[in-house]
A and B are shown apart, each in its own frame.
Chain A
Amino acid sequence: MEATAASSVKPRRGARRRRSSTLTGRDRMWLWLMVGIPAFLHIALVWLPASLTVVLSFAEWDNLAPVSEISATGFRNYWIIFTIFETDLFGALFNNLVLVVWLTVCSAIGMLFAYLLDKNIRGTAIYQSIYYFPVVLSLAVVGFIWKSTMFSRDRGLLNAVWPGEPVDFVGDSTKLFSFDLPFLDPALGLSKNFAALLVAMAWRHIGYIMVMYLAGLKAVDASLREAAQIDGCNEWQSFRQVVFPSLRPINVIVVVITVIEALRAYDIIAALNEPRGTDVMGTLVTKSLLGEGSGRVGFGSAYGVVMLLLCLGFIIWYVANHYRESEL
């Protein structure tokens, strides 16, 4: 039923000519408007600003001054953020990296939950609803909820499981672990308050991924598993060799969701007023663009471009994956 892209080109051309000949001129004008207006809106408010940010990252500009005062500075902004603000930049990049790793672990847990819940067990709908409900909350609200009963030094429940001295998990930016780099003065490391935010994010992320995989697992051909079991695969082997490979479309989506979520994390940190030690690229960009300090537009945009470049690879990979075999 699904023709491959290559073979469908020719007949489609013919079909198009035939069909468009039945369209009146007015219909064709409508078609252009129907796609043109939303596309214009999308390009003007998403792609154009993104390109302008790239341009601004090569410029110096105090954003209170008129646009005519923008002056080109080449790579100076990048040079400055990589050599003068390098503790900010690398601190944020490190936190983003930790997030990528952590959310990947959470995605694996989400997959495990989905796998267990797919085993035809009693009460699976109830379990699903419980694991899933944090997903409907904004990460800002998640941060707020966790702040109210989990994070505080006095009565926070995280301290009930924390082995050491009670910690204020919102404010305490001392490091859980850190390592020295020769070119960076304060050592890179994971601060306690950021680690606490990671736990709160896991609460939301696991349910999200679980639902994606539950949908994927239902689509896995049951006879494939049967065949694997008849061939004598144990549980792990049949998962590894049969189920997991046939989940490939979901895997692609989950990887993209996980990485993009980790790279553009912002809400939970900003909702708690950006405690020290929890900076990520998202807060760094916003802070330098919203701050009063003049001439920071260039730096903010340069931070933004760093962030964009990190995301771009995954975006392209995802889109290419989706539309490669897609016939339209």
Chain B
Amino acid sequence: MSAVTFDDQLASAATGPEGELLDTVRARRAQRRGSRVKPMRVLLHSFLVLMAVGWLIPIGTAIYNSFRDYQTDTQPNGPFAPPEMLTLDNYRAAWDVGEMSKTFGNTAFIVIPALFLTLLLAAIVAYVCTRYSWKFNIVFLVLFTAGNLMPQQVLFQPLFQFFKYMPWPDFISDTNTGNLLGTKVAVILIHVAFQIGFCTFVLSNFMKTIPKEISEAAAVDGAGVWRGFFQVILPLTRPALAALGTLEFTWLYNDFFWGAVMLNQGDERPITSSIAILNGQYGSDFNLVAAASTLIALPTLIVYLALQKQFISGLTLGASKG
């Protein structure tokens, strides 16, 4: 990936009058390098390979040993030994004791609406703030950006009380307390409120690069505020939304804190937050822990492997100033 861009930059640098000079310099340097730099490259590659192996060891051994029995195999023979027998028992046990069919369901119930709402609302705010100049847009963007960096622990107690006094019909959640406290809806609301900050920041950076004339032309043709959003800007924002959606999916899926403190009872916890319970009860069977970790990590790893480009550009979108 970097190779392509580097070449692109070389190509663009080589156009223009000073390009020819640069070309000769570069050619001369390449000649010199050809004889000298090779040992450095070998060193570099061995370092990188060594590091890569080190990076893969924790997850590699975890996955490998999740297919072995701890008591009879890993403990006496060691984590790298050839297996006496490969088994799926750890996975079955982890699935059952972690009540994963339920906790995965809880995660889906929280992540999907939260993701959709966050992206939609953030896109709307970014649209208004970048397309229509008005007094408060910078205030909002500053507020949103700063809010996203707030330590979550600081918000938690007032939110807890706040949800306790928010009436909420019981038939939507299964807490039977008549309020929002301990419901998944409360966690969705927190996620949306919190993540809007980062998403608005990123999307407004992106939308700034869309020429204003496009919106103005649409307005001249009689498109109102909403049509200008849904039919003009939103389609153009699709790449940023895809990247951001991928990133936000893993963040929401990976949320541990809110699921753990807001869904205290444990019954409604999403999968990531249920780790604490699992660890408390079955933490000494290390291969069961490995199987459970693998299961929990699997969705994000699949998303990463399938959508790596989106993922990385999502991260770096937030970093660029647009």
Contact = CB atoms under 8 A, between A and B. Distances in A.
A308 B151 contact: yes
Contact of A127 (B52, B130, B156, B311): B52
Given A39-B143, A271-B256, A49 B25 contact: no
B171 interface: no
Contacts of B210: none
A322 interface: yes
Given A145-B297, A146-B58, A272 B156 contact: no
Contacts of A120: 2-3, 6
B193 interface: yes
Interface residues of B, number: 119
B162 A49 contact: yes
Interface string A210-247: 01101111110111001001100000000000000000
A47 to B, nearest CB: 6
Interface stretch (A82-90, A148-156, A184-192): A148-156
Interface string B296-318: 11001101100010011001101
Nearest to B277: A273
A98 interface: no
B39 interface: no
Contact of B75 (A27, A47, A129, A154): A154
Given A42-B196, A141-B293, A290-B261, A271 B321 contact: no
Interface size class of A (residues with CB under 8 A): 35 or more
B79 interface: yes
B225 interface: yes
Nearest to B37: A119
Interface stretch (A71-79, A99-107, A172-180, A260-268): A260-268
A319 B151 contact: no
A27 B149 contact: no
Contacts of B59: 133-134, 145
Contacts of B293: 141, 144-145, 148
A42 B121 CA distance: 11
A44 interface: yes
Given A38-B196, A116-B44, A229-B29, A149 B260 contact: no
B157 A56 contact: yes
Contact of B255 (A138, A214, A281, A289): A138
B173 interface: no
Interface in B187-245: 189-190, 192-194, 196-197, 200, 204, 208, 219, 224-226
Nearest to B316: A215
B13 A222 contact: yes
B13 to A, nearest CB: 5
A132 B293 CA distance: 18
Contact of A129 (B25, B66, B125, B308): B308
Contact of A144 (B51, B224, B275): B275
A322 B257 CA distance: 28
B127 A311 contact: no
Contact of B2 (A117, A147, A307): A117
B142 interface: yes
B154 A42 contact: no
A35 interface: yes
B256 A138 contact: yes
A266 B193 contact: no
Interface string A121-149: 11011111111111011111100111111
Interface in B52-67: 52, 55-59, 61-62, 65-66
A142 to B, nearest CB: 8
Nearest to B312: A211
A203 B225 contact: no
Contacts of A263: 151
A197 to B, nearest CB: 13
Nearest to B130: A328
Contacts of B283: 147, 273
A285 interface: yes
Main SS at interface, chain A: helix
Contact of A140 (B9, B58, B150, B275): B275
A208 B315 CA distance: 9
Contacts of A318: 145, 149
Nearest to A131: B55
B289 A148 contact: yes
Contact of A34 (B125, B133, B158): B125
Interface string B146-171: 11011111111111111000000000
Contacts of A155: 74-75, 78-79, 286
B292 to A, nearest CB: 7
Contacts of B297: 137, 141, 145
A46 B193 contact: yes
A12 B81 CA distance: 70
When A and B form their complex, which 6 residue pairs have the shortest distance between CB atoms, in order from nearest? A138-B254, A45-B193, A215-B316, A148-B290, A49-B158, A52-B158
Interface of B: 1-3, 5-6, 9-10, 13, 22, 25-26, 29, 41, 44-45, 47-48, 51-52, 55-59, 61-62, 65-66, 74-75, 78-79, 121-122, 124-125, 127-130, 132-134, 136-138, 140-147, 149-162, 189-190, 192-194, 196-197, 200, 204, 208, 219, 224-226, 250, 253-257, 260-261, 264, 272-273, 275-276, 279-280, 283, 286-287, 289-290, 292-293, 296-297, 300-301, 303-304, 308, 311-312, 315-316, 318-321
Interface of A: 12, 15-16, 19-20, 22-24, 26-27, 30-31, 34-35, 37-39, 41-50, 52-53, 56, 63, 67, 113, 116-122, 124-134, 136-141, 144-150, 152, 154-155, 157, 200, 203, 207-208, 211-212, 214-219, 221-223, 226, 229-230, 249-250, 253, 256, 260, 263-264, 266-267, 270-273, 281-282, 285-286, 289-290, 297, 300-301, 304-305, 307-308, 311, 314-316, 318-319, 322-323, 326, 328
